[in-house]
Structure 1
Amino acid sequence: MDSKEMTDLRSELMIKLNRETAKIDWQALQRFYAQGAVLVVAPELDLVASAVAVAEDNSQYIADLLAKGLLQRADENHAQQWLADQVEVWAVVVAPWVLVQRERQSPLQ
């Protein structure tokens, strides 16, 4: 496969994942959190680009994000606080993972 074909496939994957990204209440994701299948993407990252990296199993990039704390498994603090605050997150599924990201908060909020 040449680089143009790879670029085309990556573009198609990005479009597909972008279309599958939606807002959802954190409460609806509790089952996935309990299974340890939720990854939290830092607000400064692009959620869809991060999902593409996971889908393509870009292990070096993912390891770098994990090391920097920009990608992490949802933990008890996330779960409790987001449930209490009735948070809505952006989410996209890259089986077996659900990647989530909170919207950036405006300074006025």
Structure 2
Amino acid sequence: MLFLQSAGHGSTNMKGKRATLVEEFRRYRLLAAKFMELKHADSTVLQFWSTYARELPILPSLSRRFLATPGTSVPAEVAFSTSSFIGRKERCRLTPGNLAATVFLKNKLE
């Protein structure tokens, strides 16, 4: 009986978190529309987040993660050199999809 109570309690909590996130996305869309109406065309995404970060508690951390530019180009250069090594003349029968999958797996398994 205790297990069923705790299992049901946990699933309700997840629904609450999803509802909170969905509600925050709705608020984000409204605030973004408002921001675009009030600001000039040269406004940036960084200005938006500095203005509305307190009203959206979850999304600013995600935006920082996905809007950040890597400090170096090393990961991209490694991917291109790996791709050129795997796709050399001796392996010219690899399809582009198989080459992309091989490079992806090599990168993730290292």
Q: By percentage of residues, which structure has more strand?
A: 1
- Would you call these one fold, judging by a TM-score over 0.5? no
TM-score by length of 2: 0.28
* Structure whose residues are more often helix by fraction: 2
Higher relative contact order (CA 8 A, sep 6+): 1
